[in-house]
């Protein structure tokens, strides 16, 4: 095929090998798969609290006591898996307090309008804790085991090293509260030599 045939192609433009490559480069970018959800320590605590409150309310409304404890344990497992490794130390000590707060919230909501609020909340909290205590221990154990597998001991060692460094720094500062810096141009030997030299007006 001659060059005139190429120039006389339909459309009046010559076929260029860069066209398909340019179209391929200008195509839509490939969508990358989203990474796993990562929670902070506070986010993990919120997940446990929300699971405890929601399942506790459902267990009281539908009369299924098993739902409260099982829901809290599931929330503990989800929080332990989804929390970022740097905040595992915060999460691993939180389940008992979170469970108490969730139980208090559930009892308070379900006791409103039933006579004495203080008496109802007190009796309801103790009754709920007695009924769901095994689930509290199970949820706490789940969090501890999962966090150990994800490296919470490394966080504990790093925290210990930081505390040791702070204590050593404070001890050093307390031992030497004021430090007299030597002037850079005057060595100690020169000052001692001048101090030992007799005054200029003294007789020999």
Per-residue model confidence as pLDDT tens digits over 81-114 = 999 988 888 899 999 999 999 999 999 998 887 7
- Is residue 184 one of the residues assigned to a domain? no
Q: How many domains does the chain have?
A: 1
CA 187, 189, 192 angle in degrees (round to 5)?
115
Residue 99 included in any domain: yes
Residue 109 lies inside a defined structural domain of this protein = yes
Angle of the 65-82 helix axis to the 41-62 helix axis, nearest 10: 170
CA distance 74 to 42: 17
- 34: in domain: no
Judged by DSSP in three states, 182 sits in coil
Is residue 189 included in any domain, yes or no? Answer: no
User: Between these two residues, 168 and 13, which has the higher pLDDT value?
Assistant: 168
Structural contact between residues 139 and 72, judged by C-beta atoms closer than 8 angstroms: yes
Evaluate whether residue 170 is within a structural domain: no
Question: Which tens digits make up the pLDDT trace of 134-190?
Answer: 999 999 999 999 999 988 888 788 877 777 776 666 666 666 555 555 555 555 555
Domain that holds residue 90: 41-159
Give the count of beta carbons closer than 10 Å to the beta carbon of residue 34.
Answer: 6
pTM of the complete model: 0.61
User: Is residue 26 included in any domain, yes or no?
Assistant: no
Query: Per-residue pLDDT tens for 51-64?
Result: 999 999 999 889 88
The verdict on residue 168 lying in a domain is no
pLDDT of amino acid 172: 61
**Cβ(35)–Cβ(82) below 8 Å:** no
- The strand pairing partners of 200, in sequence order, are none
């Amino acid at each position: 095929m001659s060059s005139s045939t190429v120039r006389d192609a339909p459309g009046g433009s010559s076929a260029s090998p860069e066209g398909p490559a340019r179209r391929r480069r200008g195509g839509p970018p490939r969508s990358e798969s989203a990474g796993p959800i990562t929670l902070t320590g506070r986010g993990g605590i919120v997940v446990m609290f929300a699971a405890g409150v929601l399942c506790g309310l459902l267990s009281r409304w539908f009369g299924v006591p098993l739902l409260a404890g099982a829901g809290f344990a599931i929330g503990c497992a989800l929080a332990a898996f989804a929390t970022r490794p740097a905040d595992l130390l915060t999460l691993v000590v939180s389940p008992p307090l979170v469970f108490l707060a969730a139980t208090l919230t559930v009892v308070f909501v379900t006791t409103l309008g039933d006579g004495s609020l203080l008496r109802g909340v007190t009796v309801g909290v103790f009754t709920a804790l007695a009924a769901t205590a095994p689930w509290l221990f199970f949820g706490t154990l789940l969090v501890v085991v999962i966090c150990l597998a994800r490296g919470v001991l490394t966080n504990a060692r790093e925290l210990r090293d930081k505390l040791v460094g702070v204590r050593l720094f404070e001890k050093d500062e307390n031992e030497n509260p004021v430090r007299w810096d030597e002037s850079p141009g005057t060595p100690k030997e020169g000052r001692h030599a001048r101090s030992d030299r007799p005054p200029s007006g003294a007789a020999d």
